[in-house]
Structure 1
Amino acid sequence: MGSSYLILILVTITSVVASSDNNQISGSAGHKHSDVNCLSWRVAVETNNLKEWTHVPASCVDYVRQYILGDQYRKDHDMVVAEAYKYARGLNLTGDGKDVWIFDIGETTLSNIPYYARDDVSVGYMPFNGTKFDQWVKKAAAPAIPGSLRLYKQLIKMGYKIVFLSGTREAFRQPRIKNLKAVGYTQWMKLILKGDNDHGNSAVYKSSKRRELEKGGYRIRGNMGDQWSDLLGSNPGDRTFKLPDPIYYIA
């Protein structure tokens, strides 16, 4: 995951699949807690006005849990996807195989919600446990995020070349390939993972990889991720699309 803080949300279930209409927990979008307006906190996070935060406020843990497991998270995600599709459909591709669309992986194309829901992980909120998360990645069991999978298939039909650009370490290439293909991401031009010689935080690392793509003659027509570090920095592409994610922050 690179330089990161993961906020593990207390969940009362043991398995959640992001695409399921079951196990929804609906809550009021304007719900307030005593010390923080949690809706305002989430908006500040998503707009990147609140930066380098290390944990969800204790009084907002339940609010964020309800948001992620309820239908609003999927609606917010689907709205971004719909706008991305509209944009992509309106471009005139050259047909030379150089028009690229970049996807992040975690919380962009694959969901880690089942990991957060585990009894040995979801004990409130705490700093990221790299060892446990690596074990989860090795299982190659993350479900697809439905809106992103739908967009991915539409982009391929339109002639875009797909690049997955992730902070996942190179050592996990085979589990990542297995997981992506198992849930429907069956083809791509490049799967870029973080090698031992890749240094710097996520924004620096991803900027360098995008720069390499453009030096290779590729045109980054779209770039989609759940973290601002997926989208900021140099060579971001013609247009970026930020997906919702109020559960962790990656610098």
Structure 2
Amino acid sequence: MGFTFLILMATLATTFASQTPNQIHLLMPHSGSGGLKHPDLNCNSWRLAVETSNLKDWTLVPDECADYVGHYMLGKQYRADCDFVANEAYKYAKSLNLTGDGKDIWIFDIDETTLSNLPYYARNSVAFGALPYNSTAFDLWVAEAAGVAIPGSLKLYNQLIELGFKIVFLTGTKQAVSEPRIRNMKNIGYTKWEKFILKGTNDHGTAVQYKSGKRKELEEAGYRIRGNMGDQWSDLIGTNTGDRTFKVPDPMYYIG
């Protein structure tokens, strides 16, 4: 099944390229996970453990769950899960009383939170997390500025702006590829923000330390973090996390 899946991904890449650039489209004829179960590993349970952070410090998707993760990410269930998170975030945001002084901010991560790299994973047949991360290949992909919007997150982004929030993008994307990344974000609908924070050459430490430090800088500058949204737990834990956090699903990789 794995070999067939890789061939299917190569075919789907062509289909993806011909479709609207700011949408995630249904690329596989499956509704989602399909409840796939393997003799030694229940992949539904594995994904639940990942999303709840009961499974930590993992490096690769288990081989027997690679197809499962691919079907999930390219199926309806992933988009439904993202929409659910975004809808709950909007309900929370609407309940807040903003001061109107421009200091109420909402922090978004980028990769797999607001911008999806699914075309990269499909095109390169990288087995959706079952193969090691290749930084060179991924940087080349970022330079193409061809990522697509996650529809629920883009809708939430526009709703938050309408409510009066200032938007801050806080990403582990390297500052060296800032131009194509910013261009990509604008092209898919994220056209305004208060700050766009990328990882510079002098930013060291773990993802938790990096993002905690940047959030602390924001609060020291007088901003109030009313909401914080990311696909990794390292986006949402540590210090200065904000009033409330929201995690979107991502069973493809783990960043500690």
TM norm structure 1? 0.92
d(CA) in 2 for partners of 1:212, 1:112 = 29
8 Å Cα contact 1:170-1:195 kept in structure 2: yes
Residue 69 (str. 1) matches residue 79 (str. 2): no
Which protein, 1 or 2, shows the higher relative CO under an 8 Å CA cutoff with sep ≥ 6? Answer: 1
Between the aligned residues of both structures, percent identity stands at: 63
Change (3 A) 1:214 1:124: closer
d(CA) in 2 for partners of 1:236, 1:124 = 27
d(CA) in 2 for partners of 1:54, 1:28 = 21
Identify the residue that residue 4 of structure 1 maps to in structure 2. Answer: none
SS of structure 2 residue aligned to 1:126: coil
Residue 24 (structure 1) shift:
4.3
d(CA) in 1 for partners of 2:187, 2:143 = 14
| Cα deviation digits, residues 122-173 of structure 1 (max 9, x gap) | 5982110000000000011101110000000000000000000000011111
8 Å Cα contact 1:24-1:71 kept in structure 2: no
Unaligned runs of 5+ in 2: none
* Structure 1 letter corresponding to 2:82: H
SS of structure 2 residue aligned to 1:14: helix
| Cα deviation digits, residues 181-201 of structure 1 (max 9, x gap) | 001000000000001111101
d(CA) in 1 for partners of 2:154, 2:247 = 16
Identify the residue that residue 136 of structure 1 maps to in structure 2. Answer: 141
Residue 182 (str. 1) matches residue 182 (str. 2): no
Unaligned runs of 5+ in 1: 1-8
Residue 219 (str. 1) matches residue 224 (str. 2): yes
Listed as ranges, the matches of 1:52-67 within 5 Å are 52-67=57-72
Identify the residue that residue 174 of structure 2 maps to in structure 1. Answer: 169
TM norm structure 2? 0.90
Change (3 A) 1:158 1:24: farther
Identify the residue that residue 231 of structure 1 maps to in structure 2. Answer: 236
**What is the number of equivalent residue pairs in this alignment?**
243
Residue 59 (structure 1) shift:
1.0
